[in-house]
Amino acid sequence: MRCPFCQYPDSKVLDSRPAHDGQEIRRRRECLACHRRFTSYERIEDLPLWIIKKSGQREAFDRGKILKGIMTACEKRPIALEQVESLVDDVERALKDGHPREVSTRQIGELVMERLQGLDEVAYVRFASVYRQFTDIEGFRQELERLIQATRGDQS
C-alpha cells in the first residue's frame, strides 16, 4: 500500500479489525520510509447484477423495486415487515449465488412467487395477478386452481 504522505510503495500492517458490520477490514498501517501512520479499508468488490427486462433493456438490480412490489402484494395482510425484508434478502441472495451476472425479470418474478406462496397465499395471488398480467377472470381462476391443487398436494 502506497504511503499517502511520502508515496513510498510499501507499508506494514500494525492492526486489523472488521469495520462496517463486517463488510470491510480496517487496517492501521505504518510507512516503512517516513514512519507515519495511516488507515486503509479493504472490502470485497461487489460486481453489479444486471436485470434483463421483457423489452430486452438492461438495468442495474434494484432491491427497492422488489421490496415495493412485495409490499404492495402484502398490503393489509398479517405479514411483518421483517418477513418481507427476509424474503427480499432471500431472493437477492439466490440471484447473486445461483445465477450469472445477468438475470431476467421472469426469473426474479418466479423466485418471488415461490417464496410468497409459502408466506401468504393471498399476497401470492395478488403478486401473481400483476406479474402474470391476468387479462381476464379466467387467468385468475386458473392460478387459483393451481394454488388449490398445490395446497391439497401438500396436505396429502
Tens of pLDDT along the chain (156 residues) come to: 999 999 999 999 999 999 877 878 999 999 999 999 999 999 877 778 899 998 999 999 999 999 999 999 999 999 999 999 999 999 988 988 876 789 999 999 999 999 999 999 999 989 988 888 777 888 878 888 888 888 787 665
- Alpha carbons 154 and 135: distance in angstroms, whole number: 29
Q: What residues form DSSP beta bridges with 31?
A: 11
Instruction: Say what the pLDDT of residue 66 is.
Output: 94
Residues 33 and 60 in one domain: no
Domain count, the chain: 2
Q: Is position 108 within any domain?
A: yes
Q: Is 14 exposed, middle or buried (0-12, 13-18, 19+ CB in 10 A)?
A: exposed
Which cell numbers in the block locate residue 94?
439466490
Residues 142 and 96 in one domain: yes
Is the distance from CB of 79 to CB of 88 less than 8 angstroms?
Answer: no
- Alpha carbons 51 and 63: distance in angstroms, whole number: 11
Q: Is position 6 within any domain?
A: no
Structural domain range at position 34: 11-43
pTM, two decimal places: 0.65
Residues in the chain, total: 156
